[in-house]
Amino acid sequence: MIHQQPKLDTSPKVSDEVRKTTCYMCACRCGINVHMKNGKVAYIEGNRDHPVNKGVLCAKGSAGIMQVNAPSRLRAPLKRVGPRGSGEFQEITWDEALEIATGWLKPIRENDPSKLAFFTGRDQSQSFTSFWAQNFGTPNYAAHGGFCSVNMAAAGIYTMGGAFWEFGQPDWDHTKLFILFGVAEDHDSNPIKMGIGRIKARGARVVGVNPIRSGYNAVADDWYGITPGTDGLLILSLIHVLMKAGKIDLDYLARYTNAPCLVIENPGADDHGLLLRDADGKVQVIDRATGEPAPFDRPGVRPDLTGTHVQNGQTCHTVMHKTVNRYLSEEYTPEAVADRCGIPAARIRALAAEIARVAFDEAFEIEQEWTDFRGETHKVMKGRPVSFHSMRGISAHANGFQTCRALHLLQILLGTVEVPGGFRFKPPYPKPVEAHPKPHCKATPGAPLDGPHLGFVRGPEDLALKPDGSPARIDKAFTWENPMSSHGLMHMVISNAHAGDPYKIDTLFMYMANMSWNSTMNTRGVIDMLTDKDESGEYVIPRIIYSDAYSSEMVAYADLILPDTTYLERHDCISLLDRPICEADGAADAIRWPVIEPDRDVRGFQTVLVQLANKLKLPGFTDENGAAKYTDYADYIVNHQRKPGIGPLAGFRGAAGDKAGRGEVNPDQLDRYIANGGFFVEHVPDAARYYKPWNTAYQDWAVGMGLYDSPQPYLFQLYSEPMRRFQLAAEGHGERQPPDHLRARISQRLDPLPIWYETDQHGNEGFTVNALTQRPMAMYHSWGTQNAWLRQLHGRNPLYVPTKIMREQGLEDGDWARVTSPHGQIVVPVMEMAALNDNTVWTWNAIGKRKGAWALEPDAPEATKGFLLNHLIHELLPPKGDGLRWANSDPVTGQAAWFDLKVKIEKVAGPEEMTESQPAFDPIKSPVGTGPKTLAWKVGE
């Protein structure tokens, strides 16, 4: 047949209309263009104008169309009519659902608001949900940070006023060496992929420190396959080598950190180890010009890193002095740490040498004048092109807080934070601890809580304790067990509520948290707690309200289901009051808006909270006559003001919509956002782009934007005074005293200079292999696996086992292995992986599903071969015989120590000898049935 070509229309109409909103297929919050045909979603692509993704979009984002048509979407409010866990529900109207909820919540609020525990999972509206909880009056509110990554966030804020991900980013334009720590590939994922692509395109080096060489580590130029839980030790060794070689930035340390601050030497007294302050409370440094103490911020002062000061006959030294004494110790030489880290000493030295070379030999300057907080004007901005970043992995251990602190110490010693080429904050960060609220926990019947729930403690006086010293919160956040638990401890709520420790609750109210499956430790145990009854035949946790958009495993365990919309059917705001979408060069926020209307009887959860607040006549939502201030969430977004002129959205404020940050309410604000592509961005002025914590141009800009009430220059905290205050309490000082059994732990673990310690190995005898999970880049939480397109990418999750263990155990790909931990066992399929730490196994998180959930058929591989490691992890450590319950959490913040898991592995069967992973759970009855047998989703003609 001779060559012939048909006529082809190469300019077909793309869509009827493009609606621009914000993605919610993960926590990245990219801008999306939703192409509409015939009123339906035809195609989703990235928004080129958007500050987060600049046009690109990941697999999840493009698969959003399959989320919106998902057969697992809940269709109407449900009332439980069978026993908990049976999945027996009756569809009810919203009027009835709201009546039931109000009937439960009203008496709680009138009698004892703490009987409500309200926890909101993967919530992106925490400034709103916390406002609701505060007005309700319960102290028991948090989102999922406590089981996710509070170590990362809190260590960053306590050390340098910001952390990674939403808080800050590498200077992708200038960095020449990018070092990425930690397992996981989800947080901030498109910006990190874009950044890695950009720096590799210009030949910069990428180093990955991660037990697993997948994803970003697969493209890293050098891979450090570290032993899980030893990142802090490696970092302190790098500090040792760099410091010993004098490769630290002395000028930066003297000017911008508390390294020159004097530490009070007064053994046995209640101020021993605190920082020396003047009568105004300003920390003191020795001025090299005068040799005398001076407040750190006095114009013209030249802080001396090695100054001393004699007080009461004792010589006070600087923080720098303490830092040198600690990290020059032989215990941190590469040779001393190599075996424990699983990395040869020569490779540790090579990494240190490369860091030193790039930081100091490739230092550069940007021609940009700027003025610091002491009034000194600098002609240029000095750059050090080494940047660090970290994913969740390093924080998911019981030494995670100190490990994250150590990483920040390393980058601060190098002088590479907030400088060109280094790590940069995103507004509203930098923001020191002093600019954050303290936790509040005083509940009063019929009244709001005395302030915001979550915050940053400065010392024992800020703990959430009742007058008798017992925990005020159901999750025991901000107690001596975990004093600096800034995000709460979601993973302890059900366990504590079931145990009545510290007290019993009446209603558990949750949102987007799959607590009877992958969002909990000890899944079987938690299911039992949710269904357990007391002697009178009543449920131990009497009432459970749950909101979800999908038929998740948790639905069957609630008494009342409030069905949420999908992300394309709702209003949302990604607010500067919360976790905004800013980039280092701009303050930005965004909205979601209903680009389609729901075809089911569902409501956005935040709107339901407004409606409940109005029925309960909560202050903040109703006026003095009880009349509603807001009809729904959109109304709240536009009209709520946290302070005069400051609301959930910073853009298009004022009557004319021309004010940014501060400005009166603009009734047309949402329309202006929609016209602008769903977001708003205000760029940081050139003179304010770097050195933000100390740069007057940035500070003034931030005040103008409403990010601060007044300029907030501060010093980076190599030495953490709040931690020292807890140590002083443990040493017997102060009114508030820890229980005796926690004194030693507080003294050791709340060291004000970063330390590394091996996590509690009690009960781990015989369990020697580290077991981890991470999420694939193409999935997020449980939602992904129901997605018809995404589940074809990652519908199976074998246990990835390193070659060495495969050989030792005689395992072949597809074999079934028993994986045992001190807490439990699972039997799962295995697959060999060579690019993996020799003593670590891992699997993809949240692929495994329970039969009957998510509208999947019962023989779906997620429900047969899929599995969770959660069955192997307990929320409590093994009993030590002291009669106490020790949480499997970081002793500083309470972060769930998921990655401390140790297991052993043995072969039990060949590939064909078993068909299902163990434990196999009974199917749960689905409220939505299962999906169609074929799919060919074309909405246009």
Is 501 a binder of other proteins (CB under 8 A)? no
- Binding other proteins by CB under 8 A: which of 67, 124, 214, 773? 214
- Residue 44 as a binder of other proteins (CB under 8 A): the answer is yes
Contact window for other proteins (CB under 8 A) among 80-88, 107-115, 854-862, 875-883: 854-862
Burial class (CB in 10 A: 0-12, 13-18, 19+), 345: middle
- Report d(CA 720, CA 275) in Å as an integer: 10
Please, are residues 371 and 696 in contact by the beta-carbon 8 Å criterion?
yes
- Supply the minimum distance, in Å, between the C-beta of residue 351 and other proteins: 6
Q: What is the gyration radius of the CA atoms in the chain, in angstroms?
A: 27
Q: Residue 400, CB half-sphere, CA atoms under 13 Å: how many? A: 36
Interaction between residue 304 and other proteins (CB under 8 A): yes
* Coil/strand/helix, residue 555: helix
> CB of 63: closest distance to other proteins in angstroms?
5
Per-residue binding letters, 339-368, with other proteins (x by CB under 8 A): -------xx-xxxxxx-xx---x-------
Whether 829 and 815 have beta carbons less than 8 Å apart is answered as yes
DSSP code per residue over 722-769: HHHHHHHHHTT-SSS---HHHHHHHHHHT-SS--------TT-TT--E
Options 527, 549, 790, 826; binder of other proteins; rule CB under 8 A: 790
34 sits near other proteins (criterion: CB under 8 A): no
Which C-beta is closer to other proteins: that of 53 or that of 522? Answer: 53
The token pair that represents 703 in the structure block: 């005040």
Question: Which residues from 267-296 bind other proteins, rule CB under 8 A?
Answer: 288
Stretch that binds other proteins, among 220-228, 393-401, 552-560, 707-715 (CB under 8 A): 220-228
Given the complex with other proteins, which of 236 and 558 has the nearer CB atom?
Answer: 236
In the complex, the smallest distance separating the C-beta of residue 346 from other proteins, rounded to whole angstroms, is 6
In contact, 749 and 756? CB cutoff 8 Å? no
Q: Pick between residue 220 and residue 497 the one whose CB is nearest to other proteins.
A: 220
- C-alpha triplet 298, 300, 304: angle, nearest 5°: 85
Rounded least distance, CB 154 to other proteins, Å: 29
Query: Closest separation between CB of residue 129 and other proteins, Å?
Result: 30
Locate 664 and state its tokens: 């009166």
Question: Please, where are the H alpha helices in 342-492?
Answer: 345-356, 400-413
DSSP string computed for 414-441:
TT-BSSTTSEEE-TT----GGGSPPP--
Q: Which range touches other proteins (CB under 8 A), out of 54-62, 407-415, 608-616, 624-632?
A: 54-62
Q: Which of residues 419-448 bind other proteins (CB under 8 A)?
A: none
812 binds other proteins (CB under 8 A): no
Classify residue 790 by its DSSP letter. G
Q: In 245-342, which ranges are continuous DSSP H helix?
A: 250-256, 319-327, 334-341
Q: Among 433-441, 503-511, 663-671, 786-794, which window interacts with other proteins (CB under 8 A)?
A: 786-794
Place of tokens 């450090």: 224
* Of 352 and 556, CB closest to other proteins: 352
Whether residue 487 contacts residue 143, with contact meaning beta carbons closer than 8 Å, is answered with yes
Angle between helices 400-413 and 150-160 (to 10 degrees): 40
Among 788, 908, 914, 920, binds other proteins (CB under 8 A): 788
Pick one of 23, 26, 56, 179: the residue that binds other proteins (CB under 8 A).
56
Calpha distance 549→72 (Å, rounded): 8
CB of 940 to other proteins, least distance (A): 6
- β-bridge partners, 643: 646
Site size with other proteins, rule: CB under 8 A: 119
8 Å CB contact between 273 and 264: yes
Contact range with other proteins by CB under 8 A, out of 55-63, 366-374, 669-677, 709-717: 55-63
| Cα 316 from Cα 57, distance rounded (Å) | 55
- Cβ neighbourhood burial of 920 (10 Å; 0-12, 13-18, 19+): middle
Does 1 bind other proteins (CB under 8 A)? Our answer is: yes
Confirm or reject binding of residue 71 to other proteins (CB under 8 A): yes
> For other proteins, which residue of 789, 816, 842, 867 counts as binding (CB under 8 A)?
789
- Which of 243, 316, 588, 613 is in the footprint of other proteins by CB under 8 A? 243
510-549 binders of other proteins (CB under 8 A) = none
- Binding flag, residue 941, other proteins (CB under 8 A): no
Between 177 and 903, CB nearer to other proteins: 177
Which of these segments, 53-61, 79-87, 417-425, 807-815, binds other proteins (CB under 8 A)?
53-61
Question: Given the rule CB under 8 A, which of 165-173, 191-199, 379-387, 468-476 is the region that contacts other proteins?
Answer: 191-199
Q: Is 3 in the site for other proteins (CB under 8 A)?
A: yes
Four-residue CA torsion sign, 136, 141, 143, 149? positive
Residue number with CB closer to other proteins (732 or 932): 932
> Taking the complex as a whole, how short is the minimal distance between the CB of residue 9 and other proteins, in angstroms?
8
Residue with tokens 């003609």: 941
Q: Report the site for other proteins in 589-648 (rule: CB under 8 A).
A: none
The single residue listed with the structure tokens 């400051």 is 646
Q: Please give the torsion angle defined by the CA atoms of residues 122, 124, 126 and 132, in that order, rounded to the nearest 10 degrees.
A: -90
Task: Give the range of 194-202, 457-465, 484-492, 642-650 binding other proteins by CB under 8 A.
Answer: 194-202
**Binding of residue 560 to other proteins (CB under 8 A):** no
Asked if residue 378 binds other proteins (CB under 8 A), the reply is: no
Residue 165 in tokens: 């991900």
Minimum distance from CB of 409 to other proteins (Å)?
A: 17
Query: Using CB under 8 A, which of 63, 414, 602, 609 touches other proteins?
Result: 63
Listed ranges 3-11, 154-162, 509-517, 542-550: which one lies at the site for other proteins (CB under 8 A): 3-11
- Closest among 554, 785, 401, 497 to 74, alpha carbons compared: 554
**691 secondary structure, DSSP code:** S
Q: Report the C-alpha gap between 479 and 464 in whole angstroms.
A: 6
Please choose, out of 365-373, 567-575, 833-841, 875-883, the segment that lies near other proteins by the rule CB under 8 A. 833-841
Question: Is residue 251 a contact point for other proteins (CB under 8 A)?
Answer: yes
